[in-house]
Structure 1
């Protein structure tokens, strides 16, 4: 039937216009950004370590090929690192992306490199797309404004008589250094959250754990070891490291963890009685390396500047203990815990002490 009169033609024109609008709207691409469907459910379950020397395995030895100075890479990742010692049976594989000396900028996204290696967060994203990341454990911040390893070097120099006690020089500004670190570490942790979100993960799909630093030395140096044979530090500097430097640094790391709603594992008191030079009769029972010199490296120009790199870092025994405590903590739902020695002499996650 043909439309009659102007009303019929008007109705026909209206139908054509409406159909055109419908086709146009229906064919427009969605303005909502599309996200991946989420972490692969049937893929291997993995945990990932990110950060600096305290989690890479520095001091534990047997470093992975390619991370012991080859082509300038001194990340010193070890199979004995704590991420490989959690004892978690529900995890298929542990990835270690940490690198000795890494600042927060290299842990997060961006162009910062550490010993030739690019962003750790960027590498995390590639893992998360193919495997199911169930936990990310981060130890970072000490290599930002606090420059903790350099502080320890300054303390050693003070012992030699080449300067004032490092506690006198650095102590007054230590709190400010840590305060400047907090937003940098927070930024790196935010980048980790962002990378996993872009890979389709919700925050509830994985655990983000930030761990603090253990005191590697204490005033309880065994007789005859407060020198170049073990721990060349002035007594006042030993007290400052244990009583002030590590607790203040711990508070800063905890603040950054809280900013991104991460879980927090306090290692500050974990090595009490097992610090470097604490066991004169049984040095193998200590959890930290003493002053360590790789004498062979001194003969090679490209390695000589790293001959002391392992000094005052957790040894393989220490990493095993820290890994044990981390595994216990990951198996709980507690927001925070502290690694403390139990009656059996091993470290355990004490949740009441971590809040």
Structure 2
């Protein structure tokens, strides 16, 4: 009888030890069946916010481009210290890294061999970065340089203003714009999925970081003063500007929202972010504008390797525009969940309107 009690006691102690071990092993991973986020991303190094994408992220139009991205050896990525990612604030954040490149298509953001202005895959660059950095924030804006070819469309609108005998550029854009946006979506999805795959391979789980997909702001609107609807400012026809602002950019944003939904990224809509602050909207007071007007670098025209880039800055967010986007993004990141639209508040600055309000 005594031996039976001894074995029974040993069995109870062993069971208790197992239960304690299970609690220690699993207790830090769940509470009420829900995973508990780790205190910070895995790995070593400083907490670092990272941006990937095209010209709206690199800082095209914001000036002061880093020397290595302002033409040497064919690199025209035009990354600026005024870009919004350099103004991102996040608890414990020590560094900010901009991997975006002006003109980049989704394929260059994704894993693969596609290059933009001599630079390889941005996702591959991120893979190298996370070896010695911890990344709690990744912001992506890409897609306009794919099937929509937004910059090329703006050029067509400029040609239409120059040639009154030509039809408005919006006539052709209306016919195929939605199909181009539809063709863009899976390319953006792949790029975002590749970024997620890079982080997963580095040991990240979704709770370790915020992944944000941004859309595009309307750089120029229909309310341009007549005296600036020329080569001194914004040479476009009013009907073309109206279609771009009302329909073109809105449809582009809807496509990007689909990509965000398919990849699980948070979506920050900038379609209306520039309302009232578009290029040329300030008239004589250019300081009110958040986008560059038609910009020609005269000093570049005398150099064969730079002449073709003399207009590259035109109709992109300027330094003030990037500061406003950063303000909206910082408040959006603080919310930590859901989608939003950047809209100007009573104070005149951009703030995130949660999706239900924005709709």
Same fold (TM over 0.5): yes
Q: Which residue of 2 aligns with 1:122?
A: 124
Aligned equivalent of 1:232: 235
Is the alpha carbon distance of 1:68 and 1:353 closer, same or farther for their aligned partners in structure 2, counting shifts above 3 Å? farther
Q: Distance in 1 between matches of 2:79 and 2:135?
A: 20
CA distance in 1, matches of 2:226, 2:169: 22
Aligned length: 318
* Residue 276 of structure 1 pairs with residue 279 of structure 2: yes
Q: After the TM superposition, which of the residue ranges 309-318 and 275-284 deviates more from structure 2?
A: 275-284
212, 216, 233: which one aligns with 1:213: 216
> Deviations for 1:42-69, whole angstroms, at most 9, x for unmatched residues?
5311110000000100000000111001
Give the Å deviation of 1:130. 1.5
Q: Which runs of 5+ in 2 are unaligned?
A: 1-39
- Is the CA contact 1:165–1:236 (under 8 Å) kept in the aligned structure 2? yes
- Equivalent in the alignment of 1:15: none
2:323 aligned residue: 320
State the Cα distance separating 1:41 from its structure 2 match.
Answer: 5.4
TM-score, reference length from structure 1: 0.87
1:96 aligns with: 98
Equivalent-residue separation in structure 2 for 1:322 and 1:304 (angstroms):
30
In the alignment, the residues of structure 1 paired with residue 45 and residue 306 of structure 2 have an alpha-carbon distance, to the nearest angstrom, of 40
Determine if contact 1:40/1:130 at 8 Å carries over to the other structure: no
Q: Could you give the per-residue CA deviations for residues 225-281 of structure 1, whole angstroms, max 9, x where no partner exists? A: 011110100111000110111000000011001101000000000110000010112
- Superposed CA RMSD in Å reads 1.3
Rg bigger for which structure?
Answer: 1
Which residue is equivalent to 2:313? 310
Q: Which residue of the partner structure matches residue 48 of structure 2?
A: 46
- Tell me the CA shift for residue 333 of structure 1: 2.4
Unaligned runs of 5+ residues in structure 1 are 1-37
Q: Call closer, same or farther: CA 1:152–1:353 in 2, change over 3 Å.
A: farther
Render the CA deviation track for 1:61-118: whole Å, top value 9, x for unaligned: 0001110011100000000000012233531111000000000000000000000000
1:286 to 2:283 alignment: no
Q: Does 1:338 align with 2:341?
A: yes
- Give the equivalent residue in structure 2 for 1:148: 150
> Hey, what does 2:73 align to over in structure 1?
71
